[in-house]
Chain A
Amino acid sequence: MNKKQKKLLFRILISFALTALLLVVPISGVYRFICYFAVYLVIGFDILRKAAKGILNGRVFDENFLMSIATLGAFALAIYTKSGDYLEGVAVMLFYCTGELFQSFAVGKSRKSIAALMDIRPDRANLKTENGVVTVSPQEIRAGDIILVDPGEKVPLDGVVLKGASSLNTSALTGESIPRDVSEGDEVISGCVNMTGALEVRVTKTYEDSTVNKILELVSSASSKKSRFEAFISRFARVYTPIVCGCAAVLALVPPSVNMLLSLPAGFDIWLYRALTFLVVSCPCALVISVPLSFFAGLGCASKNGILIKGSNYLEALSKTEYMVFDKTGTLTKGEFSVTDIVSFGISQEELLRFAAYCECASSHPIAQSLKKAYGKSINRDAVRNIKELAGRGVTAEADGKVIAVGNADLMEEAGAAIPSSLPKGNSVHVALDGVYAGYLLISDTVKENSANALGLLKKAGIKKTVMLTGDNAFEAKRISDTVGTDEFKSGLYPHQKVEAVEEYLLQKPKRSVLAFVGDGINDAPVLSRADVGIAMGGMGSDAAIEAADVVLMDDDPMQLVSALKISRKCVGIVYGNIAFSLLVKFSCLALTAFGVSDMWFAIFADVGVMILAVLNAMRAFYIKK
Chain B
Amino acid sequence: MKKIYNIEVDCANCANLMEKAAANTEGVLSASVNFMLLKMEIEFADGANEKKVMKSVLKACRRIEPDCEIEF
List the interface of chain A (C-beta within 8 A of B): 4, 49-50, 53-54, 57-59, 63, 100, 103-104, 107, 110-111, 114, 220-224, 234, 237, 284-285, 288-289, 292-293, 296
Taking a contact as CB atoms under 8 Å apart, the answer to whether B13 and A284 are in contact is yes
Which chain A residue has the least Cβ–Cβ distance from B41? A222
- Once bound together, how far apart are the Cα atoms of A110 and B67, in whole Å? 22
Closest CB pairs A-B (n = 8): A222-B39, A296-B36, A222-B41, A57-B63, A234-B16, A288-B13, A289-B12, A222-B34
B14: shortest Cβ distance to chain A, in Å? 8
Taking a contact as CB atoms under 8 Å apart, the answer to whether B37 and A59 are in contact is no
Taking a contact as CB atoms under 8 Å apart, the answer to whether B39 and A285 are in contact is no
- Once bound together, how far apart are the Cα atoms of A103 and B10, in whole Å? 9
Taking a contact as CB atoms under 8 Å apart, the answer to whether B36 and A63 are in contact is no
30 CB-based A-B contacts, threshold 8 Å: A4-B10, A49-B66, A50-B66, A50-B67, A58-B63, A59-B63, A59-B64, A100-B10, A104-B10, A107-B12, A111-B36, A111-B37, A111-B38, A114-B36, A222-B4, A222-B33, A223-B2, A223-B32, A223-B41, A234-B16, A237-B13, A237-B16, A284-B13, A288-B13, A288-B16, A289-B13, A292-B35, A292-B36, A293-B36, A296-B36
- Once bound together, how far apart are the Cα atoms of A285 and B17, in whole Å? 13
Question: Given the complex, which residues of B lie within 8 Å of A58, measured CB to CB?
Answer: 63
Instruction: Name, among B33, B36, B40, the residue most crowded by chain A CB atoms within 10 Å (CB to CB).
Output: B36
B19: shortest Cβ distance to chain A, in Å? 8
- Once bound together, how far apart are the Cα atoms of A223 and B42, in whole Å? 9
Please report the number of residue pairs spanning A and B whose Cβ atoms sit closer than 8 angstroms: 61
A49: shortest Cβ distance to chain B, in Å? 8
- Once bound together, how far apart are the Cα atoms of A506 and B61, in whole Å? 42
Taking a contact as CB atoms under 8 Å apart, the answer to whether B4 and A292 are in contact is no
- Once bound together, how far apart are the Cα atoms of A353 and B32, in whole Å? 62
- Once bound together, how far apart are the Cα atoms of A21 and B53, in whole Å? 52
Interchain CB contact (< 8 A) of A285 among B13, B63, B66: B13
Which chain A residue has the least Cβ–Cβ distance from B39? A222
Taking a contact as CB atoms under 8 Å apart, the answer to whether B11 and A289 are in contact is yes
Question: Given the complex, which residues of B lie within 8 Å of A107, measured CB to CB?
Answer: 12, 36
Which chain B residue has the least Cβ–Cβ distance from A46? B67
Residues of chain B in range 1-36 having any CB-CB distance to chain A below 8 Å: 2, 4, 10-13, 16, 32-36
- Once bound together, how far apart are the Cα atoms of A300 and B49, in whole Å? 36
- Once bound together, how far apart are the Cα atoms of A57 and B62, in whole Å? 9
- Once bound together, how far apart are the Cα atoms of A83 and B71, in whole Å? 50
B49: shortest Cβ distance to chain A, in Å? 21
- Once bound together, how far apart are the Cα atoms of A288 and B18, in whole Å? 14
Question: Given the complex, which residues of B lie within 8 Å of A237, measured CB to CB?
Answer: 13, 16
Which chain B residue has the least Cβ–Cβ distance from A111? B36
Question: Given the complex, which residues of B lie within 8 Å of A111, measured CB to CB?
Answer: 36-38
Which chain B residue has the least Cβ–Cβ distance from A104? B10
- Once bound together, how far apart are the Cα atoms of A211 and B10, in whole Å? 33
Question: Given the complex, which residues of A lie within 8 Å of B63, measured CB to CB?
Answer: 57-59
Question: Given the complex, which residues of A lie within 8 Å of B4, measured CB to CB?
Answer: 221-222
A110: shortest Cβ distance to chain B, in Å? 8
Which chain A residue has the least Cβ–Cβ distance from B42? A222
As a 0/1 sequence over residues 37 to 72 of chain B, the CB contacts with chain A under 8 angstroms (1 = contact) are 111110000000000000000000001101100000
- Once bound together, how far apart are the Cα atoms of A54 and B13, in whole Å? 14
Question: Given the complex, which residues of B lie within 8 Å of A288, measured CB to CB?
Answer: 11-13, 16
- Once bound together, how far apart are the Cα atoms of A221 and B34, in whole Å? 9
A287: shortest Cβ distance to chain B, in Å? 9
Question: Given the complex, which residues of B lie within 8 Å of A50, measured CB to CB?
Answer: 66-67
Instruction: Name, among A110, A222, A285, A296, the residue most crowded by chain B CB atoms within 10 Å (CB to CB).
Output: A222
Question: Given the complex, which residues of A lie within 8 Å of B64, measured CB to CB?
Answer: 57, 59
B34: shortest Cβ distance to chain A, in Å? 4
Taking a contact as CB atoms under 8 Å apart, the answer to whether B16 and A285 are in contact is no
Which chain A residue has the least Cβ–Cβ distance from B13? A288
Question: Given the complex, which residues of A lie within 8 Å of B33, measured CB to CB?
Answer: 222
Interchain CB contact (< 8 A) of B34 among A49, A104, A224: A224
Question: Given the complex, which residues of A lie within 8 Å of B39, measured CB to CB?
Answer: 220, 222
A430: shortest Cβ distance to chain B, in Å? 58
Question: Given the complex, which residues of A lie within 8 Å of B38, measured CB to CB?
Answer: 111
Taking A222-B41, A285-B13 as known contacts, 6 extra A-B pairs with beta carbons closer than 8 A to each other, sorted by chain A number, are A234-B13, A237-B16, A288-B11, A288-B16, A292-B12, A296-B36
Which chain B residue has the least Cβ–Cβ distance from A107? B36
Question: Given the complex, which residues of B lie within 8 Å of A4, measured CB to CB?
Answer: 10
A226: shortest Cβ distance to chain B, in Å? 8
Question: Given the complex, which residues of A lie within 8 Å of B40, measured CB to CB?
Answer: 222
Question: Given the complex, which residues of A lie within 8 Å of B16, measured CB to CB?
Answer: 234, 237, 288
Interchain CB contact (< 8 A) of A222 among B11, B12, B13, B37: B37
Which chain B residue has the least Cβ–Cβ distance from A2? B8
- Once bound together, how far apart are the Cα atoms of A185 and B35, in whole Å? 44
- Once bound together, how far apart are the Cα atoms of A57 and B32, in whole Å? 23
A326: shortest Cβ distance to chain B, in Å? 32
Question: Given the complex, which residues of B lie within 8 Å of A53, measured CB to CB?
Answer: 66
- Once bound together, how far apart are the Cα atoms of A265 and B64, in whole Å? 42
Question: Given the complex, which residues of A lie within 8 Å of B34, measured CB to CB?
Answer: 222, 224
A239: shortest Cβ distance to chain B, in Å? 13
Instruction: Name, among B39, B41, B66, B67, the residue most crowded by chain A CB atoms within 10 Å (CB to CB).
Output: B66
Taking a contact as CB atoms under 8 Å apart, the answer to whether B36 and A220 are in contact is no
A68: shortest Cβ distance to chain B, in Å? 14
Which chain B residue has the least Cβ–Cβ distance from A235? B16
Interchain CB contact (< 8 A) of A63 among B13, B35, B66, B67: B13
Question: Given the complex, which residues of A lie within 8 Å of B2, measured CB to CB?
Answer: 223
Which chain B residue has the least Cβ–Cβ distance from A283? B13
Question: Given the complex, which residues of B lie within 8 Å of A104, measured CB to CB?
Answer: 10
Question: Given the complex, which residues of A lie within 8 Å of B32, measured CB to CB?
Answer: 222-223
Instruction: Name, among A54, A104, A234, A293, the residue most crowded by chain B CB atoms within 10 Å (CB to CB).
Output: A234
B33: shortest Cβ distance to chain A, in Å? 7
B56: shortest Cβ distance to chain A, in Å? 14
A607: shortest Cβ distance to chain B, in Å? 14
Which chain B residue has the least Cβ–Cβ distance from A290? B12
Which chain B residue has the least Cβ–Cβ distance from A52? B66
A227: shortest Cβ distance to chain B, in Å? 13
Which chain B residue has the least Cβ–Cβ distance from A8? B10
